[in-house]
A = this chain, B = another copy of it.
Amino acid sequence: MSERTSKAEQILDAAEKMARIGGYHGFSFREIAKDVGIKAASVHYHFPGKQDLGAAIAKRYTERFLESLGAPDDPGAAPTELLQRYIAAYRRSLVEDKLMCLCGMFGAEITHLPDKVARETQIFFERNRDWLMTVIMRAGKKKKADAEKAAFSILATLEGAMILARTLDDPAAFDAVAQTLALE
């Protein structure tokens, strides 16, 4: 009878939560171990170094995030609906999780991150850009270059809106910003 979540997953859960509060320096092997109910040395068995753990949470975060969005070319979902879903994903992170976007956090400190972690963070932004571009090009008459600009704009605006709303402790500020996004 194994538990529903493996120890490695529990470690990832704890590390992700801490990193989404305090960034790359916001999680430590000791704190994670305490959270999961093992010793710090045992965490190293699952993830040899901090870089590995950092890269792993960024990778899992990216995969889960995109998975939650669904396919950008799903014929059953209208482009406008997909963009609303995209905004809702950020809003959920802010309002329900009450946590910063992991890769927005890592992105802010990108030049201070170990290579492995920085690369996974880049991938989050690249894959988000691609997802948005696909949706935007489906929606409209935009050329590829313009679709990329629009994708960058939505991505940047939502990451910034999270920071703004969290700093002012005012979720309404997020909604105010999201409303200004042109979605056609």
User: A22 is contacted by which of B112, B153, B158 (Cβ under 8 Å)?
Assistant: B112
Give the number of chain A interface residues (Cβ < 8 Å).
42
**Contact status B177-A126, CB under 8 Å:** no
Residue of B nearest to A128 (CB): B164
**Contact status B173-A152, CB under 8 Å:** yes
Q: What 1/0 flags go to A103-140 for Cβ under 8 Å of B?
A: 11111111110000000011001100000000000000
Interchain CA distance A101-B163 in the complex, whole Å = 12
Q: Which residues of A contact B (CB under 8 A)?
A: 21-23, 25-26, 100, 103-112, 121-122, 125-126, 148-150, 152-153, 155-161, 163-164, 166-168, 173, 176-177, 179-180
A-B complex: 9 closest residue pairs judged by Cβ atoms: A160-B160, A156-B160, A25-B25, A22-B112, A159-B160, A107-B167, A153-B180, A149-B176, A107-B163
